Amino acid sequence: MSFEKLAEMKARWLPVYLVLLIAVALLAAHFVIMYFLTGNAGYANLALLSAFAIYFLYTGLDRLRKLKITRTRLVEVVSCDACGFREERDFEAGDYVFKPKGACPKCGGPLAVTAVYSLKEQL
Ligand SMILES: [Zn+2]
- The C-alpha angle with vertex 53 and arms to 49 and 57, in degrees rounded to 5, equals 170
Residue 1 C-alpha to ligand 1 middle, in angstroms? 42
pLDDT single digits (tens) 20-73: 999 999 999 999 999 999 989 999 999 999 999 999 999 999 998 888 888 889
> pTM, whole model, 2 decimals?
0.59
- Give the distance (Å) from ligand 1 centre to CA of residue 97: 17
Ligand 1 centroid vs 9 CA: distance in angstroms? 44
Tell me how far the alpha carbon of residue 15 lies from the centroid of ligand 1, in angstroms: 50
Query: With contact defined as beta carbons under 8 Å apart, do 103 and 86 qualify?
Result: no
Residue 68: the pLDDT is: 86
Distance 72 CA to ligand 1 centre (A): 30
58-117 pLDDT, tens digit each: 999 999 888 888 888 999 999 999 999 999 999 999 999 999 999 999 999 999 999 999
The answer to whether 69 and 6 have CB atoms below 8 angstroms apart is yes
List % helix, strand, coil for the chain (3-state, nearest 5).
50, 25, 25
Distance 93 CA to ligand 1 centre (A): 24
Give all strands of the β-sheet with 86-90 in edge-to-edge order. Answer: 86-90, 70-80, 110-122, 100-103
Residue 105 DSSP class: T
Domain boundaries of the chain, sorted by first residue: 3-66, 70-122
Please check whether residue 46 is in contact with residue 69, taking contact to mean a CB–CB distance below 8 angstroms.
no
Separation of CA 61 and ligand 1 centre (Å): 52
**What spacing in Å lies between the alpha carbon of 101 and ligand 1's midpoint?**
12
- Ligand 1 centroid from CA 86, angstroms: 9
First to last CA, the chain: 15
